[in-house]
Amino acid sequence: MTKIEHVSRESFNLVQERYQRLKELFPEVFTEGKMDFTKLRAALGDLVDDRPERYLFTWAGKTEAIRSLQTSSWATLIPCPEESIDFDRANHIFIEGENLEVLKLLLKPYFGRVKMIYIDPPYNRGGEFIYHDDYKQPLDAYLKQTGQIDGNGNHMTSKLETNGRYHSAWLSMMYPRLFLSRQLLKDDGVIFVSIDDNEVHNLRLLMNEVFGEENAIAILPWKGRGGRQDSTHIAEIHEFVLFYAKNKELFVAGEMAKENEVFPKYDEVKKRRYKTQLARKWGVGSRRTDRPNLYYPIIAPDGSEVYPKLPNGEDGRWRWDKKRMEKEIAEGNIEFVKDGNEWIVYEKIWEPTEDEKRTKKFTTWLDDVGSTASGTKELKAIFDGQAPFDFPKPVTLLKRLIQIANTDDDSIIVDFFAGSCTTAHAVLELNMEDELNRQFIMVQFPEPTPEDSEARKIGYKTIAEVGKERIRRVIRGYGDDPKPMESVGFKVFKLASSNFKQWEDYTGNNPDEYLEQLSLFQTTLVDGYRNIDVIYEVILKEGYDLNSRIEQVENVTGNTVFRITDPIRNQFFYLCLDKQIHLEALEPLSLKEDDLFICLDTALGDTTKANLALQCRLKTI
């Protein structure tokens, strides 16, 4: 029997995917399609912790947070070329919408592809808190909050200080978003999260749970504030950036160039300047007992044996094994210096040539990357002397984090609490400086700006509008001497209801009402849909990149057929949204068995559908 598939109406189901992976790993624990937890515990043996008392991190509402994560999205992203720059050729992306729903939609096309995520979430200090997750109807909750559908008593924000679950509500908001973040990251990807001391302790525990304590890299204190003399007891001048890897063993951090190094010595043989450092290990782990195999003699110029000795006379150890040491001596990279009756052994550090560069590790202390004050100055320079966003992060901070993340050409950088889009600004500037092609994906909720705010006074009704305009001005150039970025653009998308009609179970007992509901589904798309919106919804649901190329096939007559190509996976499919399809019109496509063709289910008669399904992979909407 010919198999005809249907385009999914919901986002990637993470629960189903993990369930399938378990089935592949432990087929013996499944009976009649259901998992037997008793068998799973037996299969895992001693790995299962069934002690009545054990370490556990939980909070009120955690179960609902997990359900919120497990619920698929029935939404879509609609393109907004009129708010974009060079939409058709741009590779950067800005998405206006509730970030949990957006993350679910991005999961399939960007699973395991993101190199770096940075977020600056609400700090939970009793102010405005706009993320009301509803695990039963998440899209409806968003549409009500943004006024896209009617609802009674829909407040855009809620005061957390009146909520008895102060910390719990914040943790429930953060958990599903961090969980989905991990799924988006590459195996060597990393995440940075800004926070202050109000929730840093809870965030650390939460990230340990999601990413694993073993993948914590560092907590980076950021000296990002002024004196804060309005503080009650002590002036607060710092915040934190929590730094985790998806897999710490696979991540290699970027390093910074060493500057103003002095090379006081000169080697007559190699005709190069150099400086020296001890060939003996110093600091932690420098004793012989730490690495006994690295304690051995080497021969000094006078023929005597030299052993590594610590300043207190204890046996130390060399930094290299014996084979490496002999190689370095033979190549003239070791210097022996007589100190009284003892020889001190040094490694020569050569002055780099023009083609070489010496680097050093970045430090955890972020005290040289600007502050919120410098971030405000940057905004004022961009917005003609006005700052439409409070306490923005500075571009220099985000540049530093991007460098630490060791991003390279075509790295994807995501920020789903984008705010004024400092992250996007940093990516654009770095790309200009080092001529790489990093890509950003910004996500921002259309949170209203306060009525009396600077942003509202100059015409920006939402924070999302501020972020989009900042990106436009950075690309087009700003200030007295604007410097436009050539061949740079960005796509704008907005979260919206699906173009596919969603069937609702009929619970009444009136046959006429039921028949009326059935009649509504004679067409599968909502009234007033735009072809381009449907195309992008199919792109998302099929797991294709949002930068996929959309081209109308020119040699097809009688029907309008699009070829959609994912530039990353180098895969494509055909899509036709005509209300009726003629097989002879599709002959120029020369469809093969592995080719995917998608069309409206109602566009094909039973015979045409069966014949087309014999030629290719057929999916219907």
Share of the chain above pLDDT 70, in %: 88
Question: How far, CA to CA in Å, does 129 sit from each of 158, 241, 392, 423?
Answer: 6, 21, 18, 22
Rg (CA), the chain: 30
The residues, ordered by sequence, that sit 6+ positions from 374 with a Cβ below 8 Å of its Cβ are: 394, 396
Residue 288 is predicted with a pLDDT of 97
Q: How confident is the model at residue 26 (pLDDT cuts 50, 70, 90)?
A: confident
Residue 154 is predicted with a pLDDT of 38
Evaluate if residue 12 carries a pLDDT over 90: no
Q: How far apart are alpha carbons 319 and 308 in whole angstroms?
A: 10
Residue 507 is predicted with a pLDDT of 63
Q: How far apart are alpha carbons 211 and 178 in whole angstroms?
A: 9
Alpha carbon distance, N-terminus to C-terminus of the chain: 20
Paired strand residues for 566? 571
Q: How far apart are alpha carbons 597 and 620 in whole angstroms?
A: 8
Q: How far apart are alpha carbons 560 and 554 in whole angstroms?
A: 9
Bigger pLDDT: 361 vs 136: 361
SS3 category, 618: strand
Q: How far apart are alpha carbons 571 and 370 in whole angstroms?
A: 43
Domain ranges of the chain: 66-256+360-497, 265-353, 515-620
At residue 21, what are phi and psi to the nearest 5 degrees? Answer: -65, -40
Question: How far, CA to CA in Å, does 445 sit from each of 66, 96, 162, 392?
Answer: 21, 6, 23, 16
Residue 354 is predicted with a pLDDT of 78
Evaluate if residue 355 carries a pLDDT over 50: yes
Mean pLDDT of the chain: 89
At residue 287, what are phi and psi to the nearest 5 degrees? Answer: -85, 160
Lowest mean per-residue pLDDT among 39-53, 94-108, 135-149, 478-492: 135-149
The residues, ordered by sequence, that sit 6+ positions from 180 with a Cβ below 8 Å of its Cβ are: 14, 69, 100, 103, 104, 107
CB atoms within 10 A of CB 544: 23
Side by side, the strands of the sheet bearing 342-350 are 265-267, 272-278, 342-350, 334-339
Position 343, amino acid? W
Evaluate if residue 71 carries a pLDDT over 60: yes
The residues, ordered by sequence, that sit 6+ positions from 538 with a Cβ below 8 Å of its Cβ are: 7, 564, 575, 598, 621
Evaluate if residue 162 carries a pLDDT over 90: no
Lowest mean per-residue pLDDT among 62-71, 140-149, 353-362, 372-381: 140-149
pLDDT tens-digit profile of 208-246?
A: 999 999 999 999 999 987 666 666 788 888 999 999 999
pLDDT tens-digit profile of 399-422?
A: 999 999 999 998 999 999 999 999
CATH topology of domain 66-256+360-497: Rossmann fold (3.40.50)
At residue 192, what are phi and psi to the nearest 5 degrees? Answer: -120, 135
